[in-house]
Structure 1
Amino acid sequence: MKTFSALFLLSLFLLAGCNSYQQDDYEELVVIEGYAVANRPLPHIRVSKTLPVDREYNLSEAAITNALVQLVLLDENGNDEEIFPYNFSEYFDRFYVPSAEAMEHTVLPMRTYRLDVSFNHRDEIIRAYTTVPDQVKIIGDVEDFIVYQSDEQLEILIAEGRRTQKQSVYVFSAIAQNPVVENLTPFFRASVDDGNIELVDLINNASGLINEGNFQRNEDGSVTLRFPWIGVAFFGPNLVVTSSVDTNLDAIVRSQQLQLGGSTLPPGEIPNLIYNVEGGIGVFGSLSSDTARTNFVRPSGF
């Protein structure tokens, strides 16, 4: 069974890495965060500032509430085509939200948006660009029931899409529909029992980045993706979200993985996070998603 919901709340892209810049000589920096999703309304944007490493992070203290924020849709020549003003909102977890007229705009696949952030009482001028990936579309049928860790791995077939970067990069996310302890798969049950992770953190479980070396491109241009078993945190019904991500999300996640130990480089050679933000740090990225529904079934003996 398929559903074309655009569900996407990947903890993979929550900006946990924004405190991972060099603080040998502390300098307060502006941090931006926003994720545009193809064929969805314009994203909320968060604008905040860094805090010293010895100070506990508090959003109320870090949030910048008086920024001038706008998104700009660019034409094919890079010129401003349409400008969408934003307003700060206390009611949306201290995000900047599109103005009333801007709320009618839907994020366009294959188009480039620029985020502009400036201030009346600060010198910084922040700019970031994202080119939205083509809309992901699941084609064919998705198996209603998949036996966990069997030879029949869940396969997702997606239609050929136009590229916005040198290679397409995908992410899976499994969203459990009955996320109770009794439904945890063995690896994650052990992690929860040992106190290494909270149950709530597994409800939306991301696979990590999947590049072209790890999927099958078919003769008709379609792509076959195989859902990794490590992405299955819960038995039972799950929504499986397949997302194509832009270069900004790809870059910040890969550089964060290097900083968190996914590299054999010595400490002095590990690169800083790649933000692709002018005048500050953070991430302004985009993605497109499609969603399928399946059930991960316990093997006999579990």
Structure 2
Amino acid sequence: MGSTQRWLLAGVYFLLFSCAAERKPGELLGPSEEGVLVVDALLLVDQPLPDLYIRKTIGPSKPWTAEFVQVTGAQVEIRQGDRVFFYQNATGTGRYVPAGIPPIVEPNTTYELKATLDNKQVRGITITPSRFRIERAVLVDEETLVVIREMKTFDDGEDAVFNSLENQVNYLSGLLEARFQAIDVPAYQVGIQSLDLDSERVIGADFLDEEDYADLERQESSPPLEAEDGILRLPWFAIYFGGRHMIRIYALDKNWFDFTRSSPLENEGGFVGSLAGDNFERPIFNLEGGIGLFGSASVDSVGFFVLPRL
């Protein structure tokens, strides 16, 4: 699983396991739901069947430790039609890996997950989206939305994406747009990653102090976004540093969409076209016998190099 994909789901663990000392009994899951199996499995079209994680919830009054939440010894399988792919526990942790060479995840295909531990069982179903491809990356004028220039995509090669003049963009100059043929999915999600970990920050604002700057992340994600016209504008407010940046756009299945739109950790920010919901008492998991996320997506990427503001 890629670093951005793993980061997008980091909120699952924070939401379910952390801050135990601050939670009140009955919040989110409730003390009666201690020991519930938690699934983290995300399938990406045209990539190998991924590792997945099985953990369990702990009581609100208990401190979080990896030892308390990890699940070992579960029987885990994913079915695709008549094919069954078995998983094995990796080095006594909550991570489970495919037994043998993992198959490639196919588009428009139903996958069924079953994980069993003693007398507990969690099940989930995901239907993978169609293939998704970013056809154009452009820089447009912020006021007129007229295209200023075409940018290189990964079809032109990684070197062109990060080193060509077309992809050198001054911070806050114009709007970055990804254009594509929209596919039949409920929503899209954007993951933004700063690749140069030693690059200088480009953001500057009077209302930010040094503590705020220290909290800036090199990876950000959006709430679920609508893009029926096949255009997503990529926000400058989620970019804080110079250097190389990768933006991944995920076309979400229903499970991933429901989780992100109902999770309070995913619904912050001012992305245009947000489909985040309000007033959810707890996230929507779409699992039988457990919680977490068994979902799928198609994904494509664009890249560029951020220069200081003019």
> Does the pair score TM above 0.5?
yes
Q: What is the CA distance between 1:204 and its match in structure 2?
A: 2.0
The residue that corresponds to 2:223 in the other structure is 208
Partners of 1:28 and 1:134 in 2: how far apart? 36
> Out of 103, 107, 131, which is 1:135 matched to?
131
Does structure 1 retain, via aligned residues, the 8 Å contact 2:137–2:176?
no
Superposed CA deviations along residues 140-170 of structure 1, whole A, max 9, x for unmatched, are 35521233223x2001112343x2x4x3x11
The residue that corresponds to 1:183 in the other structure is 201
Does structure 2 retain, via aligned residues, the 8 Å contact 1:183–1:236?
no
> Out of 161, 169, 172, which is 1:146 matched to?
169
Partners of 2:34 and 2:102 in 1: how far apart? 38
User: Helix, strand or coil: the match of 1:252?
Assistant: helix
Q: Which amino acid aligns with 2:220?
A: N
Q: What is the CA distance between 1:9 and its match in structure 2?
A: 2.5
Partners of 1:62 and 1:258 in 2: how far apart? 20
The residue that corresponds to 1:113 in the other structure is 111
> Out of 175, 179, 189, which is 1:157 matched to?
179
The residue that corresponds to 2:145 in the other structure is none
Q: What is the CA distance between 1:35 and its match in structure 2?
A: 0.8
Q: 1:48 to 1:170 in 2, by over 3 A?
A: same
The residue that corresponds to 1:3 in the other structure is none
> How does 1:165-244 map onto structure 2 within 5 Å?
165=185, 167=186, 169-180=187-198, 182-186=200-204, 190=208, 193-194=210-211, 198=215, 202-211=217-226, 215=227, 217=229, 223-244=230-251
Partners of 1:224 and 1:109 in 2: how far apart? 22
Gaps of 5+ in 1: 1-5, 75-80, 218-222
Q: 1:290 to 1:296 in 2, by over 3 A?
A: same
Q: Aligned residues, how many? A: 266
Q: Which amino acid aligns with 1:97?
A: V
| 2:288 maps to 1:290 | no
Q: What is the CA distance between 1:258 and its match in structure 2?
A: 8.2
Q: What is the CA distance between 1:174 and its match in structure 2?
A: 1.8
The residue that corresponds to 1:28 in the other structure is 35
User: Helix, strand or coil: the match of 1:11?
Assistant: helix
Superposed CA deviations along residues 41-64 of structure 1, whole A, max 9, x for unmatched, are 111111111111121211222111
User: Helix, strand or coil: the match of 2:135?
Assistant: coil
Superposed CA deviations along residues 72-116 of structure 1, whole A, max 9, x for unmatched, are 113xxxxxx21100000018x64100001xx24001111111110
Does structure 2 retain, via aligned residues, the 8 Å contact 1:13–1:253?
no
The residue that corresponds to 2:98 in the other structure is 98
The residue that corresponds to 2:281 in the other structure is 271
Structure having greater relative contact order (Cα 8 Å, sep ≥ 6) = 1
Partners of 2:220 and 2:170 in 1: how far apart? 18
Partners of 1:273 and 1:238 in 2: how far apart? 30
Q: What's the Cα RMSD here?
A: 3.0
Does structure 2 retain, via aligned residues, the 8 Å contact 1:42–1:98?
yes
Task: Using structure 2 for the length normalisation, give the TM-score.
Answer: 0.76
Does structure 1 retain, via aligned residues, the 8 Å contact 2:223–2:268?
no
Q: Which amino acid aligns with 2:304?
A: T
User: Helix, strand or coil: the match of 2:46?
Assistant: coil
Partners of 1:204 and 1:84 in 2: how far apart? 32
Does structure 1 retain, via aligned residues, the 8 Å contact 2:112–2:126?
yes
Does structure 2 retain, via aligned residues, the 8 Å contact 1:179–1:234?
no
| 2:234 maps to 1:254 | no
Q: 1:33 to 1:250 in 2, by over 3 A?
A: same
The residue that corresponds to 1:220 in the other structure is none
Residues 44-53 or 141-150, more deviating: 141-150
User: Helix, strand or coil: the match of 1:9?
Assistant: helix
Superposed CA deviations along residues 205-239 of structure 1, whole A, max 9, x for unmatched, are 2233212xxx361xxxxx12111222213222211
Q: Which amino acid aligns with 1:185?
A: I
Q: What is the CA distance between 1:8 and its match in structure 2?
A: 3.5
User: Helix, strand or coil: the match of 2:193?
Assistant: strand
The residue that corresponds to 2:16 in the other structure is 18
Q: Percent identity?
A: 22
